[in-house]
Structure 1
Amino acid sequence: MSAPAPQPAPSASTRRVSARVGGIAESATLAVDAKAKALKAAGRPVIGFGAGEPDFPTPDYVVEAAVAAARNPANHRYSPAGGLPALKEAIAAKTLRDSGYEISPADVLVTNGGKQAVYQAFATLLDPGDEALLPGPYWTTYPEAIRLAGGVPVEVIAGVDQGYKVTVEQLEAARTPRTKVLLFCSPSNPTGAVYTPEETAEIGRWALEHGVWVVTDEIYEHLTYDGAVATPMLSAVPELADTTVVLNGVAKTYAMTGWRVGWLVGPSDVVKAATNLQSHLTSNVANVSQQAAVAALTGDLSAVAAMREAFDRRRRTMVSMLGEIDGVVIPAPQGAFYAYPAVHGLLGRTFRGVTPTTSAELAALLLDQAEVAVVPGEAFGPSGYLRLSYALGDADLAEGVGRIQALLAEG
């Protein structure tokens, strides 16, 4: 019997979903979190280490500001697409306070969360075929946003032996005539790595020398430990101001992930173009959320200090417990709220009749057999790693890592 004839690829007129959008991978972190929540709703005692959000409530004074804003009819209407003037002024003041340099409120674009800021930064800077250097391990959204903008993500991977931090030599080796942008994220999601002030300055000077734009994601700036310092790129190399876009938001610092307020700061022409895009894409961020963000940014940082203390305690517990597992290498994260153990030493071993050969298979085993949800390294770059968030309660954290220890001790 002859094999069936190959079917022709669908034409543009018959393709149901565009190739551009159809090629987007689902957010792995959100997928893991959704699966863990679904299993818990079904009655299974799953502990989820997948979500990148603080487990604390938004501070009361921020919530009260939102309640007052909801009662004000002025907030029931459209507002400027680029953001409320009061919030843009608060972001400028916060930048001077926390990062040490002045910006104009006119050079701020308020976005629907940090993800929209990421997307619009790349959409504004990249033309089709432009390359964006992407140090890895990287947050799962970065390469998809680059591709959506028509750009080409070029991975530059730093392994556990480098503390997950790329070098200028690696960046230079990856640079081509098509290189337009470097993505820089410190403190890092997913690894928790924090570049030193000297490392940040060296990378910034390299970008300046070669005319490479920098998109710097500083959303974890206040979450550092063990004396690590998160150095703003423009504090390290002020001369980059005309070719740098800074991304930030209130989500991590103030436990406001659900309020959806982020922003980008950059040169006037870039911000104007990104604002034009947003005027067609979403228009303004919800006014109530913007007013809540004003309250957050104009208040003090006592709320983040309390969260940072709890995160630090959980961080030390997680690193200690994971470090006891034979086959796991776990550098202590210095920022954010993630641990990123290397698990190459576990692959190829058999646990309860299953022999995982990739970190994705290992993560599936942990969910099935230990009822613990983690995100595999494939979501952030090469296989051989797991990301575990320690932004969950102390008891759940100890129980969850204890289950991992128990299962992996059987191999």
Structure 2
Amino acid sequence: MSKKCAKCEKTVYPTEELKCLDKFWHKACFKCEVCNMTLNMKNYKGYNKIPYCNVHYPTTSFTAVADTPENQRIKQNTKVQSNVQYHSEFEKQKGAYTQVADTPDMLRHQQNTKNISLIEYHRNFEESKSQFTCVTDTPVMKTQLTNTKNVSLIEYHKDFEKSKSKYTQVADSPEIQKYLQNTKNISLIQYQKDFTDSKGSCYQVPDTVEMLTHRRNTENVSRIKYHADFEKMKGKKLTVVDDPETMRIKQNTAIQSQVEYHKVKDQLNEMEIRRPDREARDELEFEVGFVEDVPTRRVGSISDYDPMNNQFGSISRYSGGDPEPPRGYQAPPPQSYQPPPQQSYQPPPPQPAMPPPSEGMVCKALYDYTSADVDEVSFQEDDLIIQCQPIDEGWMEGTVKRTGQRGMLPSNYVEPVN
């Protein structure tokens, strides 16, 4: 459905559309109803959904009429009801007040008012000092002075009654000082007792925004300090005193290492040393006969097995005479002992040399810089800075290759090379 202009009732296209007063208008048709002045959205005034200019905008006028008795009566009743309601609320609120906290501005204003009052009083007092006029006391003045005196006495006694039970500060006597000291000692004893009772107990309070911010800042500073110290100590070693436990562990490790290394060699040497003695003793037993220290072997034991003839034999021992060889036993042919060849010790092959440490990120100094703090490093122009590590915006950490010193340096004084 096409939109119609409210003035010329023709179709309104979007390029010339003007929507105002719940109607659609051509921009050229949006004129004052009286003088046909072209209006816009800033200078028009609407009345009954018809546009007017500021001059011809219709105004509303009122007609004054005489108050009828009925209107006067209603007005009077309204006034009376308003007064009654006001006094009712006033009586309810009488004697009641609301306490509010003194703001800093109110406290400052009160202090300034007090100071101004004291200044004004003292100024008037200084101005009127030594200025007086002597006049004769009239009977009325005498009566007034007497009454004032009497009133002053009454006021004095009233103030005295009010200030009764109050005290005036005087110098502490030795007894009072001793009593105060005893009270202090008792208080300290009680405090120590309460502290001992409450030791180990804690009170949890919620973390405020300031506390969380402070904790986060402390953690960040601690991490930065830790990394700075870590970078300074990188590549260095610390020598500590060996305690008895560490020395004992080192000694045990060395002994175990020596035992493990010489274990096989010592065992072989011991076996080679003992082997000829055992063979000579066995031959001596067969030739001489019974030996009391050597127990008699049981027939059929594995030690009597002859592997050459694949049969068992036994050695008969008598209390006297030559030993009788067992039945079916044939003496084995004599064997000559040949020690195994000794293995010469071969040293381990040399280890290859470790490659040089990497220089990491390398930067070149553009200007001279002198350190302003203990954790900073100085350098000259064209110096090479190796193992550079950015820390934050504007600062990095590196080692001056010329001097070998490591520390903080401004990142805008150098440029990366690799």
Normalising TM by the smaller chain, what interval?
under 0.3
Question: Quick one: higher RCO (CA 8 Å, sep 6+), 1 or 2?
Answer: 1
- The TM-score with structure 1 as length reference comes to 0.12
- The TM-score with structure 2 as length reference comes to 0.12
Bigger Cα Rg: 2
